[in-house]
Amino acid sequence: MRRRLIVGNWKMHKTAAEATALVHRLSELVPQTGEVEVVLAPPFTALHAAAQALPLSRPFALAAQNLHWEDEGPFTGEVSAPMLKDLGCQYVILGHSERRHSFGDDDKKISKKVHAALRHGLRPILCVGESLSDRKKRRTKTVVTGQLRKCLEGISKDELRTLTIAYEPVWAIGTGHAATPAQAGAVHDTLRATLARGWGAEAGEQVRILYGGSVTPENVGAFMASDQIDGALVGGACLDPQSFATIISLAQRVAR
C-alpha cells in the first residue's frame, strides 16, 4: 500500500520569521504524522528558517517550489538542485500550473527540471492538469497524459519509483471549486494506466498520485476515502496551521 502524502504549497507567502512560527505551531498541532507523510513547501527565502524550526524528530519533510535544471552558472534569479539539497530539501514541486501559465514552464523545460532533481536525489512532485476549456472540450485525458509523457521522457523505472504525481485541474486551483473525488479518481486511473504502459505495472503501482485544487478540511475526507487518491497537494488551506493540521489528521483517520 502506498503511504499517503500531504503536501503544503505555501506559494509566495511567509517571511522567514513567519515560516518559523508556522512550523513551530504545526509541530505542536501535529506531533506525529504516523501513516501519513507530510511535506512543507515554503518559498526559497524561508526554506532555511523552516529547516531550522523543525524539531529533531522532523515530522515534516521540506520541498522547494521550483528549480533550475543547471547545477550552477549565469542564471540570474534562479536556484539549482544542489543548492536545494544543501538547504535540506528532499522534494521539489515541478510543473505547477502557476509556473506553466505565468513563467513559461513548458513540458520540455519541466522535463529538464525533473532530470536535474533526480540527478541530485531530490524527489519530484510533478503537477499535471487541464484547463477549464480543455475539460469542456473533453480533452482532459489527452492533455494530462501528454504532459505526463513529455515531462517524464527518459526517466528510468527506478527513478519513476521516487516520483509523485499531483493531478491539479487548473480550474480547481484557488477557486474554491474542487473536482469531485469521482472526477479526480477517473483522471488518476488514466495517469496510472499511462505509467504502467510506459514503465510496467509494478513500477507504476508504486508512484503516488495526489489530488490538488481547493482541498480544505471540509472536503479532504472524501478524497482520502478513494483508493485511487494517495494524498493531497494543498495551497490556500495550508497557510492556516489549524486547517492544515485538520487536513493531516483526517488523512490519518479516514480509511480507504
22 near ligand PEP, rule: CB under 6 A: no
- Nearest distance, CB of residue 111 and ligand PEP, angstroms: 20
Among this protein's residues, is 68 annotated catalytic?
no
Give the type of residue at 151: C
147 near ligand PEP, rule: CB under 6 A: no
Nearest to 86 by CA among 76, 99, 71, 74: 71
Q: How many CB atoms lie within 10 A of CB 90?
A: 15
Residue with cell 508512484: 207
Q: Are 240 and 209 in contact (CB under 8 A)?
A: no
235 near ligand PEP, rule: CB under 6 A: yes
**98 versus 159: smaller Cβ distance to ligand PEP:** 98
Q: Are 195 and 160 in contact (CB under 8 A)?
A: yes
Q: For ligand PEP, what does the binding mask look like between residues 171 and 210, x meaning CB under 6 A?
A: --xx------------------------------------
**170 versus 203: smaller Cβ distance to ligand PEP:** 170
234 near ligand PEP, rule: CB under 6 A: yes
Give the type of residue at 62: L
Among this protein's residues, is 96 annotated catalytic?
yes
**43 versus 204: smaller Cβ distance to ligand PEP:** 43
Q: Are 85 and 51 in contact (CB under 8 A)?
A: no
95 near ligand PEP, rule: CB under 6 A: no
129 near ligand PEP, rule: CB under 6 A: no
The residues facing 80 across adjacent strands are 68
User: Residues 155 to 174: which contact ligand PEP by CB under 6 A?
Assistant: 168, 173-174
- Is residue 8 classed as helix, strand or coil in its secondary structure? strand
94 near ligand PEP, rule: CB under 6 A: no
Which is the catalytic residue, given 68, 96, 115, 188?
A: 96
236 near ligand PEP, rule: CB under 6 A: yes
DSSP string, 152-207: TTT--HHHHHT-EEEE--GGGTTTS-PPPHHHHHHHHHHHHHHHHHHH-HHHHHHS
Q: Is 139 exposed, middle or buried (0-12, 13-18, 19+ CB in 10 A)?
A: middle
- Nearest distance, CB of residue 36 and ligand PEP, angstroms: 17
- Nearest distance, CB of residue 254 and ligand PEP, angstroms: 18
Binding site for ligand PEP (CB under 6 A): 9, 11, 168, 173-174, 212-215, 233-237
Which residues are part of the catalytic machinery? 96, 168
